[in-house]
């Protein structure tokens, strides 16, 4: 069986967690392949909201094997909190959760360095969540990081202290101290907790599952436009959020890739700094924010809101080889009489293009819009895709024509049941 992959096509927060939860019953394995606790995968069912940060979204299904892959950077403190919340809701994560020994650890000093670095940037800050993710990936690339498997070694404490000493030298460059004593107590307690879980060579586990004919779903975090190589650099995350990241983040060969589910909102949002061509700074943008409850599930920060952007969507679809599209939060636009769609960019020299400039943060451009009629009624009352109002079906048909990929799911509310399949 192939590995199907689910990726976000915008700047994150597209609703990937909900779709994984909806698709999960079809799969035997759900695996996270990159990112860290800045992810906030929100699932809502039976009237309860659940937010996962590092644990795969298949954890609510007992028959599913959930794997945190080697491409993830894991914060043991956040991990313990996640597990405790699951336990309080009757979910025993120890029964079907496995963690790669090759996943990198986020240390308290990583969080401190993240904060110090962001503060030093002043008005040029990236918009980091300051959860230590960037510094952890820096150590990984610098070949000095600590991995989950290291906590099983007798010299872990010594290796930890050596890493912290190196981090203090970096902090001293900024004339700062790490100030991590309180966090360290929580960290080592969480490390003891982490040791109670099954730590595995996940690449062998996943490839054996493939040999056994198991169905596997790979779950990404953040969004394609935050990819370290192809995103709106430098306002990006620290890992490869594209489909290719699933190969390196789980240890699977490209020939095993099957369906690629691309998730996008019926509009567009972004958290933190960086370019956002269709951002709305007016009352319309605020209406979208309030209707969509567009506040970070991890940070609580208000998200920047704007109309859908087809040049960036086409770009993300191309890079990921998307085979199916899922449109989220269509109900947020219920009350709009007209809906705008950005089809192209007009550059300063008058050129009109649908390609994304490599230096989007420095490019002077104006979005080119078309306007479509809104549906003007509550979508949550509909239970079937083909019963939806004509206006939204026309909106979707236009997107399919432009993007050249079928929209197979429309989400019209946060609950599992508010997911309409074509």
* Annotated binding-site positions: 12-18, 38-42, 129, 143, 222, 237, 297-303, 329-331, 411-413
Provide the annotated binding site for substrate: 297-303
CA distance 381 to 5: 30
Q: Which residues are annotated as a binding site for GTP?
A: 12-18, 40-42, 303, 329-331, 411-413
Closest CA to 29 of 147, 261, 202, 198: 202
Residues 6 or more apart from 52 whose CB is under 8 A from it?
17, 39, 40, 41, 43, 59, 82
Answer yes or no: 13 catalytic.
yes
Task: Tell me which of 110, 111, 140, 344 is the catalytic residue.
Answer: 140
Q: Are 269 and 294 in contact (CB under 8 A)?
A: yes
Nearest to 68 by CA among 82, 51, 56: 56
**By CB neighbour count within 10 A (0-12 exposed, 13-18 middle, 19+ buried), where does 371 fall?**
exposed
Residue 411: C-alpha distances to residues 24, 292, 359, 407 (Å):
16, 12, 33, 11
**Which residues are annotated binding-site positions for Mg(2+)?**
13, 40
Please state the residue numbers annotated as binding site for IMP: 13-16, 38-41, 129, 143, 222, 237, 301
Residues 6+ apart with CB under 8 A from 276: 11, 268, 270, 304, 306
256 an active-site residue?
no
CA distance linking residue 23 with residue 217, whole number of Å: 9
Catalytic residue among 4, 13, 21, 309: 13
Active-site residue, 140 included: yes
Tokens at residue 396, please?
């979707």
Which residues are tagged catalytic? 13, 41, 140
């Amino acid at each position: 069986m192939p590995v199907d992959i689910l990726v976000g096509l915008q700047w994150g927060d597209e609703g990937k967690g909900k779709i994984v939860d909806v698709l999960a019953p079809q799969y035997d394995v759900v695996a996270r392949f990159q990112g860290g606790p800045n992810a906030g995968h929100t699932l809502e069912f039976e009237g309860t909201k659940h937010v996962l940060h590092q644990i795969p979204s298949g954890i609510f299904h007992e028959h599913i094997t959930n794997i945190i892959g080697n491409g993830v950077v894991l914060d043991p403190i956040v991990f313990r909190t996640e597990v405790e919340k699951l336990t309080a809701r009757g979910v025993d994560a120890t029964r079907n959760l496995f963690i790669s020994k090759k996943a990198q650890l986020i240390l308290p000093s990583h969080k401190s360095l993240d904060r110090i670095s962001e503060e030093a940037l002043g008005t040029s800050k990236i918009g980091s969540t300051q959860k230590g993710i960037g510094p952890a990936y820096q150590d990984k690339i610098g070949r000095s990081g600590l991995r989950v498997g290291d906590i099983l070694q007798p010299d872990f404490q010594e290796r930890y202290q050596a890493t912290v000493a190196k981090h203090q030298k970096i902090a001293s460059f900024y004339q700062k101290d790490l100030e991590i004593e309180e966090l360290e107590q929580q960290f080592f307690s969480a490390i003891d907790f982490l040791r109670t879980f099954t730590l595995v060579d996940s690449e062998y586990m996943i490839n054996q599952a493939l040999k056994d004919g198991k169905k596997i779903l790979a779950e990404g975090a953040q969004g394609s436009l935050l990819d370290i190589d192809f995103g709106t650099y430098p306002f990006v995350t620290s890992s490869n959020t594209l489909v290719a990241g699933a190969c390196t983040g789980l240890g699977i060969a490209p020939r095993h890739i099957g369906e690629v589910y691309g998730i996008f909102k019926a509009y567009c949002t972004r958290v933190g700094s960086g370019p956002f061509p269709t951002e709305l700074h007016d009352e319309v943008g605020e209406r979208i924010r309030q209707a969509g409850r567009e506040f970070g599930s991890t940070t609580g920060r208000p998200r920047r809101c704007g109309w859908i952007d087809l040049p960036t969507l086409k770009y993300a679809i191309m890079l990921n080889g998307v085979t199916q599209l899922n449109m989220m939060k269509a109900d947020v636009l219920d009350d709009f009489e007209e809906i705008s769609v950005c089809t192209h960019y007009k550059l300063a020299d008058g050129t009109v293009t649908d390609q994304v400039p490599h230096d989007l943060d420095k490019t002077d451009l104006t979005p080119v819009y078309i306007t479509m009629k809104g549906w003007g009624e509550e979508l949550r009352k509909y239970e079937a895709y083909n019963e939806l109002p004509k206006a939204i079906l026309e909106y979707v048909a236009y997107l399919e024509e432009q993007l050249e990929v079928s929209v197979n799911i429309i989400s019209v509310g946060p609950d599992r049941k508010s997911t309409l399949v074509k």
